Amino acid sequence: MFSQMQQGLSQVWWHRRQALSSLVLLSILLISPRSFTQQPVFTITLSNHTFSPDEIVIPAHTKVQLIIENNDDQPEEFDSFDLNREKVIFPNRKVRLFIGPLLPGEYEYFGEFHPDTARGRVIVREPKLDKKTLKTGEPSVN
């Protein structure tokens, strides 16, 4: 009986240690300064349960930062099956989330609480190499 209890306790302790080490690893990952590195920034505004602009064009194969501002007096959930993103935006708040790198194509998003009106698309295009790009090294998207 005692040995069973001891075995049970040692198993519980092992799981706790495993959970603790996972949390420490996760904290290190989340606090790391990676999220402050530079990415192209695109802003979407939500007013009257409608996204504006409802289409944004972003470069392919590049991680992009989206800033979404909710100017409504109700919360909305930015949701996209294509982009695998889901984020609640409370009234008069601004959130930022990262998407990509994506392949060229069209990726739909919508407001989960008002899907009839709050809809939009992210259009991903191959970056064009123009004169400015060759000078600066930063490709433009048209």
Partner 1 sequence: MLINTVILLLRELMPLCILFSFMLVLRPTLFADRAFTVWFWITCLVVPFVSFSVAEVVSDAFSSKGAEIMGITLLLAHFVCLLSATMLSLSKNNTAWLMAIGAIALITYKGSSLILYLDIYANQLAFWQPLIVGIFIGLGICMSLLVLFRFLLSELQGHHRNAWVMAFWVLYLAGNTAEISNLLLQINAVEWGAKTFFDVSAYVQDASEYGHLLKALIGFDASPTVLFMAIYIACMGVATLMLLANRINTNAVQQRSVRTGTEVQV
Contacts to partner 1 by CB under 8 A: 4, 7-8, 11-12, 15, 18-19, 22-23, 26, 29-30, 32, 34-35, 37, 39, 63, 65, 74-75, 77, 81-82, 84-88, 90, 93-98, 100-103, 112-113, 115-116
Closer Cβ to partner 1, 93 or 128, answer by number: 93
Strand order through the sheet with 76-80? 55-59, 119-125, 105-111, 76-80, 85-89
Shortest Å, Cβ 130 to partner 1: 26
Least distance CB 9 / partner 1 (angstroms)? 9
| Whole-angstrom distance, CA of residue 33 vs CA of residue 26 | 14
CB of 104 to partner 1, least distance (A): 12
CB 78 within 8 A of CB 97: yes
Given a contact cutoff of 8 angstroms between Cβ atoms, the answer to whether 110 and 117 are in contact is no
Q: Which is nearer to partner 1, 86 or 130 (CB)?
A: 86
Q: Whole-number minimum distance, CB 131 to partner 1, in Å? A: 30
Residue 97 burial (C-beta neighbours within 10 Å; 0-12, 13-18, 19+):
middle
Q: Where are any strands of DSSP class E within 15-135?
A: 41-47, 50-52, 55-59, 64-70, 76-80, 85-89, 93-99, 105-111, 119-125
Q: Closer CB to partner 1, residue 53 or residue 115? A: 115
CB of 29 to partner 1, least distance (A): 5
Closer CB to partner 1, residue 22 or residue 133?
22
Beta carbon nearer to partner 1, 13 or 133: 13
Other Cβ atoms within 10 Å of 109 Cβ, number: 24
